[in-house]
A and B are shown apart, each in its own frame.
Chain A
């Protein structure tokens, strides 16, 4: 008898988990040395299989994955943000905190020449010559995310005090994001999967990590026009939203060509699905804090609740990412088993 399909539940471990458990590090080398990155990918799949193969994670005999990656900091780096690389953390872009005048003087980069894109292009050549292909993980970041890296928190003051300037900056950021996507997608055939592993990688999915900080009305004025600009230029379109989707979901429903939405914990998943409709693939996130500090029973109950909220399950997934050192293995198993045993489709 064929096994019944169940909703997928993804698991992603944070670099500190890999370093503490397997000595795998994610410093500057990981992003600049493609051979090291491919080797890490193989080690990760084997380690996951040995540890969590009973719940379907990892691969017994993984094949090399010629991955390019630059975290979520490619465009911030291009504009001059200092990038902090740590062995046990994701790279982080320090905000530039430019003045409005300095922002207005920014020009769109030549992606074939500017660093660190030029280094990534060399890596692509290397991987293609060795493996015949490359898969992509150049995260374009979201519009407001990028604007905040360039302007700093002052962007939020601009929304009230200098709205015309804010719109200029957001337009500029949108154009740069579109340019990067149109440049890299033909090379790799995929978008970034590091932030949104449950999203179909052929979809243009942007991380709107900072939209959680603004109201629905503010998103309507300073977010929606730019997400639509992206969605019209590059589609089908998807959005990753950190935190609760509830304050903005009605506004996200107006985004054109939207086929994927990822919602953080705290979201009313059932209400969000109802507003967005069953044709928008939906990924519900489980809190990494719960995964670390909760019991296996609490994790299972939370996953069960997310499944109960998610109908129709055919276009629904769950994941829990950013799992840090100290997350009990039994919590990972509890989450996976609940999806496999309770989240049956059909």
Chain B
């Protein structure tokens, strides 16, 4: 009998060294791969996110939980591919840190949380100019473009990027969400015209799901 609760617990507690064996055992016992992902791994990450929001856990705990889930997914992915199916994705996000800003950890946390929530995420790095956000959003067929900015020096670049997307043929097709220590809702949404604002990685997932009517 597959111990699916153990998989959930391993993700929740970041037991990266245990997850491969647990997932493999579950698959060997005939557990459905998408059930493992959706009902146990993603559920575990929801709990992790809630603990992060409540400041019960911090960046290392969230990172190790997300990476544990990714390690488990690496076991499942070939099974899904051999069955002719793919891991179900709920949406595509292109995300980067705006031009002039080289900070990455907050944005990388958002990437981990989005991937752990079933999104396909294209992390286009740091110091990203508006035209690259546009190019990558088109290339990957993004539903969402995420902008990260830690410093208020990034404000003009957040605004320029949002405006570039809204002025392009992506307008109406792609929604823009901004976050990072320097970015307030008032600035991102009211002044720049972004569709959403997120206060942290967990809020980013919630905001994006709301914008995509996934809740």
Q: Which residues does A use to contact B, with CB under 8 Å?
A: 14, 16, 84, 86, 88-89, 92, 94, 153, 156-157, 159-161, 213-215, 218, 247, 288-289, 292-293, 322, 324-327
Contacts and interface: CB of A to CB of B under 8 A. Distances in A.
B59 A156 contact: yes
Contacts of B63: 153, 156-157
The 7 nearest A-B residue pairs measured at CB: A156-B60, A213-B59, A324-B152, A215-B58, A92-B102, A16-B153, A324-B153
B21 to A, nearest CB: 15
Given A213-B59, A324-B152, 17 more contacts: A14-B151, A14-B152, A84-B102, A157-B60, A160-B64, A214-B59, A214-B60, A215-B57, A247-B55, A288-B152, A292-B152, A292-B155, A322-B152, A324-B151, A324-B155, A326-B152, A326-B155
B197 interface: no
A293 B184 contact: yes
Given A14-B151, A14-B153, A324-B152, A159 B187 contact: no
Nearest to A292: B152
B64 A293 contact: no
A327 B151 CA distance: 13
Interface in B148-181: 151-153, 155, 181
B206 to A, nearest CB: 21
Contact of A160 (B55, B60, B100): B60
Nearest to A327: B152
Contacts of A289: 152, 181-182, 184
Interface residues of B, number: 25
16 contacts: A14-B152, A88-B153, A89-B153, A153-B63, A153-B105, A157-B16, A157-B60, A160-B14, A213-B59, A213-B105, A289-B152, A289-B182, A289-B184, A322-B151, A325-B153, A326-B155
A242 to B, nearest CB: 9
B53 interface: no
B60 A218 contact: yes
A84 B17 CA distance: 36
Contact of B64 (A16, A94, A157, A326): A157
Contacts of B108: 153
B58 A218 contact: yes
A27 B215 CA distance: 47
A291 B201 CA distance: 25
Interface in B173-205: 181-182, 184, 186-187
A213 B17 contact: no
Interface string B4-22: 0000000000101100000
B54 to A, nearest CB: 12
Nearest to B61: A215
Nearest to A15: B153
Interface string B95-120: 00000101001001000000000000
A21 to B, nearest CB: 13
